[in-house]
Amino acid sequence: MATSWGAAFFVLVASCVCSTVFHRDQQTWFEGVFLSSMCPVNVSASTLYGIMFDAGSTGTRIHVYTFVQKIPGQLPFLEGEIFDYVKPGLSAFVDQPKQGAESVQELLEVAKDSIPRSHWKRTPVVLKATAGLRLLPEEKAQALLFEVKEIFKKSPFLVPDDSVSIMDGSYEGILAWVTVNFLTGQLHSHSQETVGTLDLGGASTQITFLPQFEKTLEQTPRDYLTSFEMFNSTYKLYTHSYLGFGLKAARLATLGALETEGIDGHTFRSACLPRWLEAEWIFGGVKYQYGGNQEAGAVGFEPCYAEVLRVVQGKLHQPDEVQRSSFYAFSYYYDRAVDTDMIDYEKGGVLKVEDFERKAREVCDNLENFTSGSPFLCMDLSYITALLKDGFGFAGSTILQEINK
């Protein structure tokens, strides 16, 4: 899921202006992602369209974007978006690649209904797969991508050579950062005053921000830093993608399922689940039996937090600067905040890290009486709290702007 939203939007925006905005003579991280062949044939046209598929671990989403280019050669503005999705994600079709590609075909019909027929041939269609496919064996992932590419070739849209690929985790974080700062106006103003981004998908999580202190750069592992030039400014970002630390992967780690790989007949139990619960859950094409901890007194926030803490403690880099920076959070951060009425679904909202902990305590300490569409709500909220505080090192008072993906 990560990306997700950020990658989906900016891959298409940049593709339409890359030849006039980006310094193409330099080797940059977006080589091979922002392709000149993705630009519509008539870049001076006032209305442009783009189709972006985000193939995440939990589902495949289509974004059909409409851009208005008021001045040829300048950055177009997003006029509208049509969104739809199917579940499960492509990774669930690990041994049925043709069936996985058929789910993409279903979503292509949405694009046909949304874009004028006269624009089909010059509208680029792109699919970027994220952590769900990165977790699969290489040959199985490539088989899925091959079938998707065949579906694209049969469509009436413009299909670039590299239209179907697995996106590197660091790209997800960078693209999300570029998108948020583009939409909030920082990149238009060539300002170094930017906001950081936090993306929590099903299989991975990303953190990206622009360091303001030399100390941060000195204390950061070299492979966590990426420099690039864009819009006549140079940016040196702190960015890292943690594979296996997405919300659903964290559930497996909390249950201990990652170590035992879902042994037949074995039920994984957790203090984060209602004591009476007995259920099954499918993730990544594997079925798991799970349930609550039936020992007396072994449920609630404290024992649950101890479980999720083992997943993140000491395993993530903690840059001190994040405690003094502004961050936008989306994907599962947003979803769980909406699920528990901490923010409005349409408007989003502003939360502190400690708000997630407060809500986690409320839910976990009332498991037997709490009614929810997801039995994992206590675990998810506790994990988000642990990820932010004990994983990334955010202070409880750190403010997060929650936005929809």
State the binding site.
Answer: 202-206
CB atoms within 10 A of CB 149: 18
Is 327 in contact with 400 (CB distance < 8 Å)?
yes
CB atoms within 10 A of CB 228: 18
- Binding-site residues for ATP, in ranges, read 202-206
Is 82 in contact with 64 (CB distance < 8 Å)?
yes
CB atoms within 10 A of CB 344: 11
Active site residue 172: yes
Kindly list the distances between the CA atom of residue 364 and the CA atoms of 308, 360, 361, in Å, as whole numbers in the listed order: 13, 6, 5
Within 2-140, strands assigned E span 47-55, 60-68, 77-86, 125-129
Active-site entry in 172, 307, 321, 357:
172
Kindly list the distances between the CA atom of residue 250 and the CA atoms of 254, 261, 340, 346, in Å, as whole numbers in the listed order: 6, 14, 20, 27
Kindly list the distances between the CA atom of residue 283 and the CA atoms of 332, 381, 405, in Å, as whole numbers in the listed order: 16, 19, 21
d(CA 198, CA 21): 26
Nearest to 64 by CA among 112, 20, 105, 24: 112
Is 352 in contact with 398 (CB distance < 8 Å)?
yes
Write out the two tokens for 286.
Answer: 């594997």
d(CA 209, CA 212): 9
Nearby residues of 224 by Cβ (< 8 Å), 6 or more positions away: 238, 239, 240, 317
Cα-based angle 83, 176, 142 (whole degrees, multiple of 5): 75
Q: Residue 200 belongs to what H/E stretch?
A: strand 196-200
Q: What amino acid positions are annotated as catalytic residues?
A: 172
